[in-house]
Amino acid sequence: MKDHKLNGRIWVITDIDGQLISDIDTDQIFHNAFLHITEIDQMGIHAFGNLENWRNFSSKCSPGDIILTGKNFGSGSSRQQAVDCFKSLGIVAVISESFGAIYKRNAINSGFPIITFPDAETIISEKRIKNLDEIEIDIYSGSLKIKRSGEIFHVEPLSNVQKDILEKGSLLSI
């Protein structure tokens, strides 16, 4: 990854009350009914297919988009499809307050940027980031800029290991 700045629209994954959804597990990200699908380009249509109020996400998102969720994103079983379905759609990163350990490892190993944003819930409750805002994330320095307002927030920069894997495309390419 030569460019360490990601630009795109942000999808703020909230419940009907406008609160970030936490504890989104791998079955909500990619339902086990579709685990027989092995071609990554066919996985995207099923992204969030088991997440209430977000089942049509794949028909609305665009390549270059970024996802923002609450705590513990990707908890549950080890399911590589839960990472690959977003790659299939062209999603460039997932931002969350925290990640499930197995999901985090799968994403890092496959060269998919996941970004920890400890203050996400507070920032969303204050309506400082809105769904579909255009943002820029510097994944090396740890800044997230809202283009509409110019406001900048701190996110955790990627570790040197994550940077190395991203540069090579995946752990298997190192």
Order of strands across the sheet with 152-154? 114-116, 93-96, 66-69, 5-12, 134-138, 143-146, 152-154
Rounded to two decimals, what is the model's pTM?
Answer: 0.95
Please report the domains of the chain, with CATH numbers, ordered by start residue: 10-129 (3.20.19.10)
Per-residue pLDDT of the chain (174 residues; tens, 9 = 90+): 457 899 999 999 999 999 999 999 999 999 999 999 999 999 999 999 999 999 999 999 999 999 999 999 999 988 999 999 999 999 999 999 999 999 999 999 999 999 999 999 999 999 999 999 999 999 999 999 999 999 999 999 999 999 999 988 888 765
The CA distances from residue 112 to 14, 21, 34, 141, 152, in Å, are 22, 21, 21, 17, 23
